[in-house]
């Protein structure tokens, strides 16, 4: 089994980004260390479907909200464990590899800001940043946790190209967001307001509720069978 076959066997979706093709922008944002190795393997791991499907109920049910939050963090641990196995596999094959976990950091790297795992998945051509600013895939929508493996293993034949947004005219997350934090603009830097999202979630805390929302993750038609029929 080769490296990519092994990565595919452990992840729900994965892809390879050739960082040398995007070196200038990456170094400007993250610093030289992000291009220590030429390739990034983006690893996507699905959050539990049965928990995600309860999100609309979590606004009035604190137990379900806590379960969703637990799954959110557990999925981060699981994707990190998967990545560590792949790192070990790559090293056993005689190459170097470093895991950037959900925090976007690694002890071996001195980055200007934590790396966004969304960037490696997008550059690998397996997802796009939706209007909700979540990395969205055609198959699972945004219902995934991500990590990235940097490596010098020769993976050029697997490298994808940056993926364009497939949001199009969809406004489902715009209309569903209870914090009015998403507007209908194509660029997620303009469509998604982290401030308004944060204010909504903190407002829930002030009401004595768990710090959970996730409606934009639940409702996206690329991951939601019920709303998928609304995609044009």
Residues in touch with ligand SF4 (CB under 6 A): 130-132, 136, 167, 170, 172-173, 177-179, 181-182, 197, 200, 213-216, 219-222
| Tokens matching residue 196 | 């308004």
Q: Which is nearer to ligand SF4, 87 or 170 (CB)?
A: 170
| Tokens matching residue 26 | 């990456």
Q: Alpha-carbon distance 174 to 64, whole Å?
A: 24
Closest approach of ligand SF4 to the CB of residue 189, in Å: 14
Q: Which is nearer to ligand SF4, 154 or 198 (CB)?
A: 198
Q: Which is nearer to ligand SF4, 6 or 59 (CB)?
A: 59
Residue 99, strand partner residues: 149
Q: If DSSP codes are grouped into helix, strand and coil, which group holds residue 117?
A: helix
Q: Which is nearer to ligand SF4, 13 or 100 (CB)?
A: 13
Q: Alpha-carbon distance 165 to 51, whole Å?
A: 26
Closest approach of ligand SF4 to the CB of residue 177, in Å: 3
**What are the backbone angles phi and psi of residue 88, rounded to the nearest 5°?**
-60, -45
Closest approach of ligand SF4 to the CB of residue 147, in Å: 21
Chain-centre distance of CA 144, in angstroms?
6
Closest approach of ligand SF4 to the CB of residue 12, in Å: 18
């Amino acid at each position: 089994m080769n490296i990519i076959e092994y990565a595919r066997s452990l992840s729900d979706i994965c892809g390879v980004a050739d960082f040398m093709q995007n070196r200038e922008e990456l170094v400007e944002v993250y610093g030289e260390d992000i291009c220590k190795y030429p390739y990034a393997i983006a690893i996507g791991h699905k959050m539990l479907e049965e928990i995600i499907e309860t999100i609309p109920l979590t606004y009035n049910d604190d137990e379900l909200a806590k379960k969703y939050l637990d799954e959110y963090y557990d999925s981060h641990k699981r994707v990190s464990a998967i990545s560590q196995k792949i790192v070990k596999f790559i090293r056993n094959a005689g190459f170097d590899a470093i895991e950037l976990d959900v925090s976007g950091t690694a002890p071996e790297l001195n980055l200007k800001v934590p790396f966004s795992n969304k960037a490696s998945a997008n550059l690998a051509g397996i997802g796009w940043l939706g209007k909700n600013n979540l990395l969205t895939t055609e198959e699972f929508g945004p219902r995934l946790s991500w990590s990235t493996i940097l490596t010098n293993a020769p993976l050029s034949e697997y490298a994808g190209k940056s993926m364009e947004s497939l949001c199009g005219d969809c406004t489902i997350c715009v209309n569903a967001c209870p914090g009015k934090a998403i507007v209908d603009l194509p660029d997620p830097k303009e469509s998604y307001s982290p401030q308004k999202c944060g204010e909504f979630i903190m407002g829930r805390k002030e009401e004595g509720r768990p710090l959970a929302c996730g409606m934009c993750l639940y409702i996206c038609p690329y991951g939601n069978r019920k709303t998928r029929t609304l995609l044009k």
